[in-house]
Structure 1
Amino acid sequence: MSQARNHDADRRPTRLSGHRVAAAGPLLPVLITLVVGLVVLLGGPGTAWLPLLAAGPALAAGTDGPRGVIGVGLLAAGLGVALGAHEGASASQLAALPTALLAVTAASAPASALRSRRERVLADVRSVAEAAQHALLKPVPATVGPFQAAVRYSAAAAEARIGGDLYALLPTPYGVRLIVGDVRGKGLPAVGTAALVLGVFREAAYDEPDLLAVVDRIERSLARNLGADDFVTAVIAGCPRPGRLEMVNCGHAPPLLVRACQEIVPVEPAPPAPPLGLRALTDQTPGLQELAFADGDQLLLYTDGVIEARDGGRAFYPLVEGLARHLSDEPARTLGAIHDELLAHVGGRLHDDAALLLIRRPAPSVPSASGHAAPALASGDRAG
């Protein structure tokens, strides 16, 4: 994210490269100014190349502050006068050249100040967005109750940090409960709806012993607050006791259940139910599915942004095959490999928000002959 949720880890390479660019940026206008001076010296008699010295202060407006722009402008003006005199320029040319360069510098310095101010404002907005992300999509620890857990989340708008996909995983008096959902639409309205769903879920998951009652609480809240065309697809699941898994699917993509023998089974909703917020328009109500969830089993929940991601040939990302390729006993490593493969599939940039949440019930350790604990064998590894 390898921690369970790797928003920060995903951004580290970007931040590092950004620091390198920022460090090299102020030197680039100086380098260009010196290169232009060298071209003038090597180009033979004449002053035709001298106006290119204006590129230095003009470029500095996009890479440095006002002081840097003024410094590069003075360097260019001084170098222009020296080179002009060396090339035998007339007095009028020697006067016009630094005047033009200083005029470019005078115009570039305020532009640089405005750019610096906008960058500070953008940095503040990003910090607010990051704080909102941590408040809305709280970090998921590597272990929640008896389960290992991991999350991968990528917003389609890279600078937004957050989007319309949502997830939560928390221990409650009724066992570990989790939700993964996808809000219709994008932008701030989708973020607001995601915050509403997560807030109701986190409260109801602690209060309601029945998982269907948790879903009903979310449905009632959305019915009061959503527009007529808005809805949220979601899977709400819980593990009320060891070896059992409860699930309610409200119009969402079917989760993938991975048995200890590495068999991958899509959990189709039975019966199908409408997305959250649309129940009043249909005569369907959500049903509770109960599944066995034994030691070594894993459950992967995801959003449409994963399975609808297309490559250059418009082919969807094959999540089942990707999960089979990268399956391991460490959910963070599994999701990290899937996430990297997903980005490679789309060419590095997702066009929709994508969330992946994976939980695993570890197999208990058994004492070995030497007295040390050893992991129990999965059913597929046991001798016949």
Structure 2
Amino acid sequence: FKYINDTMSHATGDTLLSLVAYQLETCSEENEDFLVYRIGGDEFTIILPNSRAIEAELFALKILKKFKEPLTIKGNPLFITPSIGISIFPEDGENAETLMKNADTAMYFVKEKGKNGYKLFQSDMKETFYRKMMIEKGLRKAIDAEEFTLVYQPQLDLKNNVVIGAEALLRWNSEEFGMVPPSEFIPVAEEVGLINQIGEWVLLTACKQCKEWNIEGRDPIKIAVNISMKQFLEGDFVYKVSRILDETQLNPTYLELEITEKIAMTNHEKVIEIIESLKSLGVRIAIDDFGTGYSSLNYLGKIPIDVLKIDRSLVKNISLNNKNATIVQSIISVTKKLQIDVISVGIETKEELQYLKSMDCYTGQGYFISKPKEHPFS
């Protein structure tokens, strides 16, 4: 529905919802006493009085069969793929709230498995899917509810002990769940198509903050922002970056966009085209977490990047790990010849920092330097 709203107008989406409601209401002649309710957005609840599990499953199959055919609006055939969760009274709940919650959980299970199906609720689904489902619902309101914040991890010039940049890191303090770790909510945001909206908020907020710091009269620092694959490859990403730079009046040379190795290795021509468009704006491009994926030095000469960030997995105990030290030294040597800057990430000990300096790596970030905080200068 979101895709149809975004591409064909909200009026078309409203018409589609009406057609879906009609299709559901006329879904079965045998179950004449069933009730259909729209509970919000594109979610509907159907009540089948005096029915058992087998009857509910048969009804679900009728719904799926009915929506195999497209719904036509103004000559445009639109296909709907329902995800149906089923809960049974009293086995799955003795009140409406519990029954709704458990049907929701079963529905989420179907969405996880690729949509366009149905599933009966099972008690072991709760732990796996219910929290994930609630995280998704919470994310949908988190921006408007101002539950997101950014913290900033300083990037240090190791030679002169001066902060030269900061990486913006997203935090979510949910009214319902409290602090939710990024490792939990970001994969959900990517999965359900919210990452572009959230990513745009992060980019706008980080650019505003960087501009404010530079206005304060300090030595200008760059701001590094992580970009997801979906965000990077969406058709209007370059335009959005340009618009945000115009809106915030941030000098583009102070913005560094971090992409992963996986992005860099996906669809070379398209990626290079996007990177070159971004660089034409004056923006810097970094590859994050180098060493966790393909780790191929070969493609560094083909993709026009400015910065390489060596992953924590290579930095950890580097002074005691000859293999990692050799890899890091090779990376530094190659990037110097290619005139690519290097940042070592995840520096957690004095020994690691000193060893990296001895290898001519002069920019770093990590808990030994500073934990992420509201202000990188504090």
Note whether the superposition's TM-score is higher than 0.5: no
> Which has the greater radius of gyration?
1
TM-score bucket of the superposed structures, by smaller chain = under 0.3
TM-score by length of 1: 0.23
TM-score by length of 2: 0.23
